[in-house]
Amino acid sequence: MMLTKPVIFENNGAMNGIEKLISLLESSRSAAAFTGAGVSTLSGIRDFRGAGGIYQDINPERMFDISWFTRDPHYYYRHAREYIYTIHTKEPSLVHQVLAELEHRGHLPGGVITQNIDCLHEKAGSRRVMELHGSICGHTCMECGNKGSYEDVLPAASQGEVPLCSRCRGVMKPDVVFFGDPLPQDVLELAYRSAASADLLLVLGSSLVVHPAASIPLSTLDHGGKIVIVNQTPTPLDDYAELRFHDLQRVFERIVRHFGMEGIH
């Protein structure tokens, strides 16, 4: 893979850069998107690692560690009440909505590969979503394997209490990848295949530091595709990007205007 210096637009109002991005989208035949926490911060959801993120307030190695959860699920649910079990009050951001509309119009056939667990891509209407770190939308009993929805556990979880299985009274665990859990292999393989077949991958709101998920855009580059990065902070792949922007809101507002996506804001 040859290292090339990207076109970096410090001023996201530079229309020539955004026009090139739009041109890439319109000419692409197999575009996909890779999203991180920055996409959901636009919906008012705090990220984990950034400035002012959730990890500033809690011990992540305890809250999201499977061995700790197995021993004492109360710690997770006490803290998740505020950070996780308010997601039903959040609405998809501009970026979520645009990605769903691009997929519906045939401009994003590779779908969305996401590091997020908040279900907002589905809520926005995206049909092909690969959730690398699982999803808060589902919960599973650690004793009998019984499945439950976010809505099923919400009455207890929103009070900081441990939700129990309706069948055996075992502890319900969110279908989220904790530290010590394996990533869902089928989803990971699907994500790598989608990225490898993409001639264009939009890398949005991710600092690309959490592995192995962060290595997925390399599959696009290794197979001759292009990546476009939109993220506030630097990423390890900035020097490989075809285009590099910093402000998701401004870039996607321009995409909305170009494609005439009425009703999206």
Query: What's 256's DSSP letter?
Result: H
6 burial (CB, 10 Å; 0-12 / 13-18 / 19+) is middle
How far is it, in rounded angstroms, from Cα 134 to Cα 175? 6
Return left, alpha or beta for 165; rule: phi > 0 is left, psi -120 to 50 is alpha, else beta: beta
CA-nearest of 261, 230, 250 to 35 is 230
Q: In this structure, what token pair is assigned to residue 192?
A: 């790598």
- Residue 96: active-site member: no
Task: List the structure tokens of 144.
Answer: 């009998």
43 backbone dihedrals φ, ψ, rounded to 5°: -95, 5
Element (DSSP H or E) covering residue 248: helix 248-259
Given the residues 79, 96, 133, 139, select the one marked as catalytic: 133
Number of alpha carbons in the 13 Å side-chain half-sphere of residue 78: 10
User: Would you say 150 and 88 are in contact if contact means Cβ atoms under 8 Å apart?
Assistant: yes
Catalytic residue numbers, as ranges: 133
